[in-house]
Amino acid sequence: MSLGPLIPVTSADYRQRARQRLPRFLFDYIDGGSNSEQTLRRNVADFQQLSLKQRVLMDVAQVNTRTQLLGQEASMPLALAPIGMAGMMRRRGEVQGAKAAAAAGVPFTLSTVGVCSVEEVQHATQTPFWFQLYMLKDRDAVLSLMERARMAGCDTLVFTVDLPVAGMRLRDTRNGVVGGRPGSGLSRACQLAMRPQWLVDVGIKGKPHTLGNLSELVEGSNDLNAYKRFIDSQFDASVTWEDITWLRNQWQGKLMIKGILEVEDARACAELGADGLVVSNHGGRQLDSAASTISKLPAINEAVGDQLEVYLDGGVRDGVDLVKAVALGAKGVLIGRPWIWTVAAAGEQGLRDMLDVFQQEVATTLALMGVNSIDELRAEMVER
């Protein structure tokens, strides 16, 4: 006799639920990487190659996971990474993610290409959040987006620098999301018809299907294809460190540079006055065959960790991975796929539950390692 479905607990559990709930082309959009997805797999596999040292009889009765991230109090060293079009995975997905993050006491990062605007997220949460931005060819548009973010209470700008051109995300090509192959429209229509829950929750109740932060730049359009054409036209492959210096001069809040893998680029971040950087390969969605982020973290932290805060994203799937990253030098981690899989599968409450499990995993891992706080973690506690 069946006892019914298992209760989802881990990010992997929610990933499976998201696969079952989303149309395939949307699941592949958040799940996939570039080309043959080697970097995507390395991000996860290289965490699995790391062992933690277990110590016993160390008095761990007062374990504390709290920390500060860019001056903001956090319940654990974790933030939600920016996810493009999260509102297409669950009704007003960015708002649900932001509300869950606020309840959990961790920062939320809104993507430039989110369905929900900075104003909508601010109204729904009344909590400061981070805003992620790309460099657009239209510099006035960049200034406008920064001003909207500032007016919505954002004091931290997460600026992504590893997208001079879009990576080759072949799952999207296979699904007809890019390339416009014959029959792709019919294929997507069939996928939508097989997901009635999504059709009601997002397709009908989740409107408007626009990119809220770009609504002033793509006026009068409710067509996501129009937004895609605008974004494609605005990728600026000519951006250099001089442009980032210009950005630093324009933005008076905290600045975090996202997309750093090499020590030379980390030093450039420090020299221009960034407050932090994210060791990131865009979740394996840009240069395939790039190194994993956890393998690059120690050298970058050694080079600039005394000048700015070093963060990491890519491959973090649970609280144990988080502890490994912090021990190797990260001030904190950003998680992307785990939170969007969870929101897609179970909405705001599911994400609250998953973040609670994350924090319990961090606390338990610290205790079993014989340490009482995040600040006690050291690189020698990790073995390769």
- DSSP, residue by residue, 51-87: EEPP--SS--TT-B--EEETTEEESSSEEEPP-TTGG
User: Any idea what DSSP says for residue 154?
Assistant: -
Task: Reply yes or no on whether 123 is catalytic.
Answer: no
Determine the Cα–Cα distance for residues 177 and 306; give it in Å rounded to an integer: 43
In the three-class reduction of DSSP (H, G, I as helix; E, B as strand; rest coil), residue 32 is classed as: coil
Of the listed 21, 169, 282, 331, which one is catalytic? 282
How much of the chain is helix, strand and coil, in % rounded to 5? 50, 15, 40
Determine the Cα–Cα distance for residues 283 and 303; give it in Å rounded to an integer: 23
- DSSP, residue by residue, 214-268: GTTTSTT---HHHHHHHHHHHB-TT--HHHHHHHHHH--SEEEEEEE-SHHHHHH
- DSSP, residue by residue, 175-215: TTSSS--TTHHHHHHHHHHT-HHHIIIIIITT---S-GGGT
Structural tokens at position 204:
């009908």
Determine the Cα–Cα distance for residues 194 and 192; give it in Å rounded to an integer: 5
- DSSP, residue by residue, 204-218: ITT---S-GGGTTTS
- Residue 158 has, within 13 A of its CA and on its CB side, a CA count of 30
Rg of the chain over Cα atoms, rounded to whole angstroms, equals 20
Determine the Cα–Cα distance for residues 348 and 139; give it in Å rounded to an integer: 35
Residue 218: count of CB within 10 angstroms of its CB:
18
Is residue 234 packed enough to be buried (19+ CB in 10 Å), middle (13-18) or exposed (0-12)? middle
User: Any idea what DSSP says for residue 340?
Assistant: H
Structural tokens at position 368:
């079993």
Q: Which residues are catalytic?
A: 282
